[in-house]
Structure 1
Amino acid sequence: MIREAIGTAPTLDEARSKAIAQLNAPLDADVIVEVLEQATKKTLGLFGGSLAKVRAYYETAQEQNEEPVQKLMQETPKSVEKVKGNEKTKKPRKAEEEKSLGQDEGLRQAAPGGEVVSSDNAPANYLTSILLGMGITDVSIITKQTDEDIFLEIVSREDYGSIIGRRGETLDALQYLVRLSVSRNENEGRRISLNIGDYRDKREITLKGLAKRQADKVLKYGRNAVLDPMNPYERRIIHTTVQDIEGVQSHSIGEGEGRRVVISPVGGRSGGYRYNDRGGNNGRRRDAKPQYKPRPLETREPKTDVSGEFSYGKIEPKIKN
């Protein structure tokens, strides 16, 4: 028996993700994705255009037992056909239940910390369907659930880069989708934490180092430091790290995806070095230049010609012959 689901969206990737999510295939199913229609753009952004259409399907185990059951139905009377028909519908359910129980037991053994893994593994199944739609086939999910949190650990032999994305954007998007799926099925939403390898631990170390470096600059120059936009999880790490540093404080600005952290000095100093050593004075204050005062004129006696002394020789008139 073939089970299928069709998804439509403006882009091919979105249509593939919708089809796989609607199919909700088990972990061991071989899901096949078929592109029915490619998306076309609108003319001048207003007219025409069509959505991408994708078909996702897989074959169930009922198809293998179909021929023997049909032979038994032909050989037995009509009164027994109903019983055989009921057995035909019950056997695959038992097989699926045994498979699901085996998967849950495997998850219980793999989950560290002694935490109990719930038999309801819908978040892991939903996440697996999305990863299959992304073309990541060699993947498994380890689930740990508490009353307030659900931890999903992705285990894959393929490259982690395609799952993590730039600065963890793809991993955060997957975490957001799983959170939406859980909130729809539960009255009280639980926190979802999605991780692959040791990415979250390395990212936390990087963010703590960034917060300390920026805090040192704020203390040195007395100016605010505005960080790049971050998700709530990363902003929480920055705030927690800044709280342990004396002389600085932090707050968030912006909305949505553009929300970011600002580290500022306590007291709102507008500038200056931490130890007042800016420039070359080293704390010495330059004295004010004294006001200019003109020098007084020297007092001396005026010269006169009374003494009869001449500076030049006597001038005699020239006599003409």
Structure 2
Amino acid sequence: MTRLITALSEIAPRYDALFVDLWGCVHDGVRALPDACTALVRYRETGGAVVLLTNSPRPRGDVERQMRAFGVPDAAWDTIATSGDSARAAMFEGAVGERVYFIGQPHEELFFEPIRVVDAPVHVTMVPLEEAEGIVCTGPFDPMADPAEMRPTFLYAKQKRLKLLCANPDIVVDRGEVREWCAGALARLYTEMGGTSLYFGKPHPPIYDLAHRRLAEVGHDSDNARILAIGDGAQTDILGAMGEDIDSLFITGGLAAKETKTSQQPDEAALKAYLEKENVYANYAIGYLR
């Protein structure tokens, strides 16, 4: 049964490292969440390591700049593993070919900057769909638009048997009070239409492999039994932790705030019903990271 806690400090001594989701846990897409930042700073002061594990399609450096703009202090984390970096590594290894059709916003073209973890990267160029060998998707052209608008494009792509590389498996995200569609919604649609989608963020294994490498880079070599995953996504953070056999702390005041009836803390009956509906198990739950 999921244990409801009131603060990270109640369980922190059991773990050497944290894999922490960003959006909905550390910031809301607009500004930092002060209590969460304070909890992570205090955890690091006790000797623990914090890996920010995000399904952002952005490179690590871009996420660092974004967090500082939101007011997340550097003292709250040790390193970052992004879905974007995991997917970029696969792209530069040739997962969807050298000529790719790009779906995303102009500022997300940073995705095509080389990544150092690939020894012999292929030369990837963006081309029109008619010339493409594959698709790279960092998110919708318009995050407020219905994903179904992509059906004609995806029908053509499926007929060409193009694979779609999804840089962010999240379906939706809340930017402040506004809910937006993510790349995962498009990848799900393409798969439902019979296309092939490749995933690299949570809950899929490649991003956890990257997180372990990043953890080792900062001098920590914790095994999964001493790692706690923290996040607000049942089908990303919590399902991913289950797949890796990592304990998890579910933040109910994020994406599932309404379903779990969270004000400061979730309603226990609503939480139980929600986790059962999502068919996931979290070791712990809390309204907001603090």
- TM-score if structure 1 supplies the norm length? 0.21
Q: Greater relative contact order: 1 or 2 (C-alpha under 8 angstroms, separation 6 or more)?
A: 2
- Greater radius of gyration (CA): 1
